[in-house]
Structure 1
């Protein structure tokens, strides 16, 4: 038996002594699961406003452990959705928008890893690889929003093909991806000119989950990195107001589920608290969960063994009360 096997047996011993199965004490994965292979291009004739774009896409790997992957997509020029189909579909869809400070988009921690959790309970998941606002796109800070709106419309217009209901499309965003998901939920205007029949359907999600979201662009609670990459180093007062989620009109928006850790040192919990106040004032159905500890960017893997690991079950229970299986 190799050293890894001995370590596993040692860790499992307390559970075995207590009469519990070893699997309940230790869940060891030695090789990262394969990526889903089904992909959908958002823009068949190229993303809009790319005449001045010269960046070259990269997808670096940061993990040195074969048990998991930790990649990020930077300088994306051809936005895509990666589709993760469940074995037993429940009719719901979820567009996952990972974070990355609008500097890049993490693919695994807040994308594929979270998608696997919800696909396991029947939700058809779509992980969005979106364009970034500082890469020279004509739409500037609205370039990521164009991709999010187009993704929602593609899922809804092709609902039968994906085996989902057109009125059961959720969006889940984490960190800066939470800001983007919030924009997609609050803004009623289309951020791009229609390109085909898919753009005739609604761009609004039916349910919104925001994980430790970047919400405000205003000091003292703004995440400076996200703001700089979205709006530049010296945004105007008008820009700050226009892109702060807590200052938007959320009247008529889909129900929102908020989760945040109180000890988040990157995106202060006030981002969620201020947004919660706005949502309540707008009579949006909202549920919020604040955890004493968890830090930032925990996804599902980095929170194991801590109280916040239950957040997917909390989100499912909340959505079920709204007749929305997740």
Structure 2
């Protein structure tokens, strides 16, 4: 059952009077908090590209386990499509952009088979996503603990059920994945496994592995080599959003 998700959405409208593509921004934070540098600055960058942006304060914390974050993301997409005219967005061009744990949530709402069409994004951008909770047995130091999403002592079946490379289908929308080769918190293998799965399913997918950047770089401002992911993303959005 849906709930009133509007208070959890911070809108950053596109200046254009015409309906614009919309992007729900999902900051990272290991499902324990929300990283501020992956919220407002990202939304304002999307505005500069001509997109309406909405930062979602999805539930995190010691008691907000799966499927509450997933259901919140679904409710946000339904709400925005139902109120597209008010938000001046094109309901057929509504996507998600997530970082780390938010990248997992973005991928989850794009792939979960029980997600209805009105709650599924039209495209997904995943930046250093923690996409695999089952196939990869170990995350790096500082990574999200599995119990932050699944509760204490999750079973292998529970972990597999939220591992994107195991649940994705051919109905997954186009995906762009960005990862750094030297990310030792969420290893690049997460994006490699995901990309391999989506390619096998013939889902339009593009992966860019940056030579450095580590984890949590956000927009990568201050490092031209890392910041260029935003140029790659802008080009991809022009083609798929």
Alignment pair present for 1:97 and 2:16: no
Q: Which runs of 5+ in 1 are unaligned?
A: 1-41, 48-77, 191-199
Shift of 1:182: 0.8
Map of 2:191 onto structure 1? 272
**Distance 1:231-1:263 versus aligned 2 partners, 3 A rule:** same
Map of 2:103 onto structure 1? 178
Map of 1:115 onto structure 2? 43
What is the CA–CA distance in structure 2 between the aligned matches of 1:209 and 1:95, rounded to whole Å? 10
**Distance 1:79-1:177 versus aligned 2 partners, 3 A rule:** farther
Shift of 1:315: 1.2
Instruction: Indicate which of 192, 210, 213 corresponds to 2:129.
Output: 213
Shift of 1:100: 0.5
Map of 2:229 onto structure 1? 311
**Distance 1:228-1:167 versus aligned 2 partners, 3 A rule:** same
What is the CA–CA distance in structure 1 between the aligned matches of 2:196 and 2:86, rounded to whole Å? 39
1:224-271 C-alpha deviation (Å, 9 max, x unpaired) = 534120123421111111011111132111100000000111110101
Structure 1 counterpart SS, 2:68? helix
Shift of 1:112: 0.4
**Contact 2:14–2:20 under 8 Å retained in 1:** no
Map of 1:148 onto structure 2? 73
**Distance 1:240-1:201 versus aligned 2 partners, 3 A rule:** closer
Shift of 1:201: 6.8
What is the CA–CA distance in structure 1 between the aligned matches of 2:224 and 2:230, rounded to whole Å? 13
Map of 2:118 onto structure 1? 202
Q: Which moved more, 1:284-293 or 1:220-229?
A: 220-229
What is the CA–CA distance in structure 1 between the aligned matches of 2:138 and 2:204, rounded to whole Å? 24
**Contact 1:153–1:202 under 8 Å retained in 2:** yes
Structure 2 counterpart SS, 1:141? coil
What is the CA–CA distance in structure 2 between the aligned matches of 1:167 and 1:90, rounded to whole Å? 10
Alignment pair present for 1:85 and 2:13: yes
Once superposed, which parts of structure 1, at least 4 consecutive aligned residues long, lie more than 4 Å away? none
Instruction: Indicate which of 198, 202, 208 corresponds to 1:283.
Output: 202
**Contact 1:85–1:125 under 8 Å retained in 2:** yes
Aligned length: 236
What is the CA–CA distance in structure 1 between the aligned matches of 2:152 and 2:125, rounded to whole Å? 29
Shift of 1:319: 2.4
What is the CA–CA distance in structure 1 between the aligned matches of 2:7 and 2:192, rounded to whole Å? 32
Superposition TM-score, scaled by structure 1 size: 0.68
Structure 2 counterpart SS, 1:94? strand
1:19-49 C-alpha deviation (Å, 9 max, x unpaired) = xxxxxxxxxxxxxxxxxxxxxxx833xx8xx
- Alignment root-mean-square deviation, CA: 2.0
What is the CA–CA distance in structure 2 between the aligned matches of 1:222 and 1:265, rounded to whole Å? 8
Q: Which runs of 5+ in 2 are unaligned?
A: none
Structure 2 counterpart SS, 1:304? coil
Superposition TM-score, scaled by structure 2 size: 0.91
**Structure ID, larger Rg:** 1
